[in-house]
Amino acid sequence: MSVVPERSAIDDEYTWSLSSVFADDDAWEAAFEAVAPRVDELRAYEGRVTEDAETLLELLELREAVFREIGQVAVYAQLRSAEDTRNQTYQAMSARASSLRSEAASAISYLEPELQTLSEADVEALVESEPGLAEYEHYLDDVLRAAPHTRSAEVESVLAELSEVTSAPSEIYSMLTNADLTYGIVEDPDGEEIEISQANFTKLQTDPDREFRRRVHETFYEEWESVRNAVGTALEKAVREHVISARLRDYDSAREAALHGPNVPVEVYDTLVDTVGDNLDVLHRHAELKRRALGVDTLESHDLYMSLTGDQGPDVEYDQAVEWVIEAVEPLGEAYQDRMAEGLHSRWVDVYENRGKRSGAFSSGTYDTQPFIMMNYQDDIASMFTLAHELGHSMHSELAGETQPWHDAGYEIFVAEIASTVNETLLTHYLLENLEDETLRTHVLDEYLERFRSTLFRQTMFAAFEAEIHERIENDEALTPDVLDEQYAALKGAYYEPAELTGGIEREWQRIPHFYYNFYVYQYATGISAAAAIVKRIQAEGETAAADYREMLRAGGSAYPLEVVERAGIDMASPEPIEAAIDVYDGYLDEVASLLDLE
């Protein structure tokens, strides 16, 4: 029987090295005990924020010092917790770090309300009198922009203290799905028992044996059916929290509130959903090609992940993936390429799945740490692309951290998802241009099409679903598991019109953690659209365009997202990048259809 290994069975070279953050848990404890009392130092400035320029600068520098220390404490605990969500020691450390961060946020919650008593002229005068405040100009502008939606210092303090409670639905969902829930065992075509996990489910759905795929799909969603009331309640409460928080801050909707933070107009969201919705015929074409490739009368839900080639494709071991990803980013410049290679060879990455490990993949770190990457690598082409994706995030963090001060280094997700998909796109071009193995080339092309499908179309479908379920709560309508099933099935049916919805696919919403992230997913779709345009520019203009792109990465959060992306020569306020991305997708469909003689 194939089972997920315990962490102790994974070679150290394929695990991340967190000793650069803290040597061990005792060092973490000492750091926690050292920074915890410093929270009181933040409280000492309440009522004095606008006293004079010198006092304001002192507070901003103190805030940076305290939150940088807390950030290191928090990231170490969170990464340790992600290694094995069953480990109660690390769960407790993560909870303590989260509490400390909430306490610090509450302690300084007076800062922005007090700053918002100033006019733009007042702020200009403070900056003029204290040169050290000049580097905070974007931060100060952002604070004043939020003034109409900021409550009194007392209310802000209460809201900050409640953050641990309001995040409970997401945390409960994470523990349920990563630590407690199992996803069933199926027998593969060779008679071997396979344990289904969140990490291997998608790969199992690419098995050439259609009956096996059906069993995996039905078994997996039967397990989700057993917790549908718990998951449905968690999602309903998460959505309700988003809606109530938006009302407390005087926004017209939860979506407006979520997009106001990064200063992305709601129209950008609407343009994405509308533009993709108007071009579903291209997605339907992909589904029809898949039906022909599989030689079936009707495409069903367990067929949607299948390769157009009809098989899973060659294995790509991790070390080979590392080599190809490093070579693929050569167009971004030697310094970028060398820094990425250095990170990969100094254990940024926690590579393989182990029992209890958090599902999925992410890049995480702080201003003062390496940008670590968690993977659940499956020795396939998809995992190689995921590695490239997460390395885009990590290199973004590296370049922004090297260039910007702490308060401007953090970038918005809207920009982050461009950095990740630029790397994916470059990897595709590199492999298609350099691989001699026609079978592997065909699978790479198919993988990129799948990522386009799942990123541009699927994430936009998620965005439409997210908008709908929030609107139901805003309109005081019920949001029960039955309603969630119905709304999700309607969207899934429209997007994948040539396919028959089978095997419990209407419950797919249960397995999507991003629905707890408050209008997060649309940025994957805008990201891949911008990435396609950026890579096209780099191919046409070479180093000039690559330099513009690196400048975008280095900008971090020193400007608003649409302004940052404009540095790479892309206007995301228009539908043009989305339409252009769909054209790229359609062009690749032409190529693969010709290669496989499907049209």
Q: Which residues are catalytic?
A: 390
484/506 Cα distance (integer angstroms): 8
Is residue 391 within 8 Å of 339, Cβ to Cβ? no
Beta strands 299-300; 193-195: pairing state:
unpaired
3-state class (DSSP) for residue 27: helix
Record the tokens describing residue 182, joined without a space: 């199992």
Question: Contact, 326 vs 341, CB < 8 A?
Answer: yes
Inter-CA distances, 57 with 48, 52, 105, 122, 330, Å? 11, 9, 18, 15, 42
Tell me the C-alpha distance between 22 and 374, whole Å: 18
User: How far is 65 from 45, CA to CA, in rounded Å?
Assistant: 15
Residue 352, strand partner residues: 377
Alpha-carbon gap, residue 7 to 538, rounded angstroms: 41
- What is the C-alpha separation between 80 and 91, in angstroms, rounded? 8
**Helix/strand/coil (H, E, C) string of 148-205?**
HHCCCHHHHHHHHHCHHHHCHHHHHHHHHHHHHCCCCEEECCCCCEEECCCCCHHHHC
Determine whether 60 is exposed, middle or buried from the number of CB atoms within 10 Å of its CB (0-12, 13-18, 19+): buried
